[in-house]
Structure 1
């Protein structure tokens, strides 16, 4: 039975039950005070007279790994009790901040509360996405400010699963006339994102809903996706050279090339 001990655990439980709560949890977790397990190498931890741990000189403290199959993940915890429940050996439950932990190991995979009823795994791509300030699991609609540097390119590895999911959902929306996908590198954003340009006639909320349905699973693999309405966008001509999500509708092609 998981009884929440603090606010971040209450947010974790809500996020597990309500997908709409997940962006708020991710944002709060990034700057939350969490706990890591430190294990001694070359010595033993002994309790001092005041109850605090005494670490013998020369003892090295390391982070243990959790495993899933052959993959190693760095564990962290929402409370000292979650750490003690997972690691029963000699250790220190040390305070840490999630942002600092992620920043020190940006290429690592992490797991929150291994062995607990409530936890979450974080891939390296997801860690980078969170550090870049992307907290939404679905697509974000953006407008590119005038003068902002943006590089668009074609991916070396075509995201077949993502394209299939987007094609399935977007082709069912009658107001969408065409959609194209490229990789984008934006100034001030350390990680590349997907850039989806959409030609549509109608409510953008219908487009957004279709995109969010498409990426509801793990098709993004932790990489952010930004969606751009192409009507009046300076990116329109470039994005239309990207990967077509589905064949543009005939009426649109007639207007474009006549």
Structure 2
């Protein structure tokens, strides 16, 4: 049974079954820190560090439905559920992450009971604000 670890996860879970909850989920997603796997970034375990200006990083991807996806996690606990060995990750506000990686597909909480693929087309609607118009018209 999926137990939300934070308000974003609670909203994500609600939006999965109630379309009226989708706008609140999308708004919270834009403003919340999410995590992506960055296997080659040097890190001291248990520490945080900032990226340097124009630092190049390798971001892990998986193939799904013929497309490449960045695995993204709504909490550190979701990372631990997904990978069993320690893994370096980058935490960033989702809006900033989407801006840093334009035209990318993100898969929130892959293999979790509460997951959501976010194709690049959906992220473009989200970051432009047009997704809220689309959701309003769907009612």
Q: TM-score, normalised by structure 1?
A: 0.46
Q: Does 1:26 align with 2:49?
A: no
Corresponding residue number in structure 2 for 1:242 = none
Cα drift, residue 66 of structure 1: 2.2
Cα drift, residue 125 of structure 1: 1.5
1:27–1:135 contact (8 Å) kept in structure 2? no
Where does the alignment leave 5 or more consecutive residues of structure 2 unmatched? 50-55
Corresponding residue number in structure 1 for 2:104 = 108
1:36–1:95 contact (8 Å) kept in structure 2? yes
Tell me which protein shows more helix as a share of its residues.
2
Where does the alignment leave 5 or more consecutive residues of structure 1 unmatched? 55-59, 141-207, 214-258
1:35–1:95 contact (8 Å) kept in structure 2? yes
Cα drift, residue 138 of structure 1: 3.5
3-state SS, counterpart of residue 80 of structure 2: helix
3-state SS, counterpart of residue 77 of structure 2: helix
Cα drift, residue 88 of structure 1: 2.7
3-state SS, counterpart of residue 111 of structure 1: strand
Q: Does 1:98 align with 2:94?
A: yes
Q: 2:81 aligns with which of 57, 80, 85?
A: 85
89-98 or 106-115: which moved more? 89-98
CA–CA distance in structure 2, aligned partners of residues 125 and 33 of structure 1: 21
Tell me which protein shows more strand as a share of its residues.
1
Matches within 5 A, 1:201-212: 212=138
Matches within 5 A, 1:103-252: 103-136=99-132, 138=134, 212=138
CA deviation digits over 1:199-226, x for unaligned, max 9? xxxxxxxxx6xxx37xxxxxxxxxxxxx
Q: Does 1:52 align with 2:47?
A: yes
Cα drift, residue 131 of structure 1: 0.9
CA–CA distance in structure 2, aligned partners of residues 46 and 110 of structure 1: 26
Q: Does 1:74 align with 2:65?
A: no
Q: Which has the higher contact order (CA 8 A, sep 6+)?
A: 2
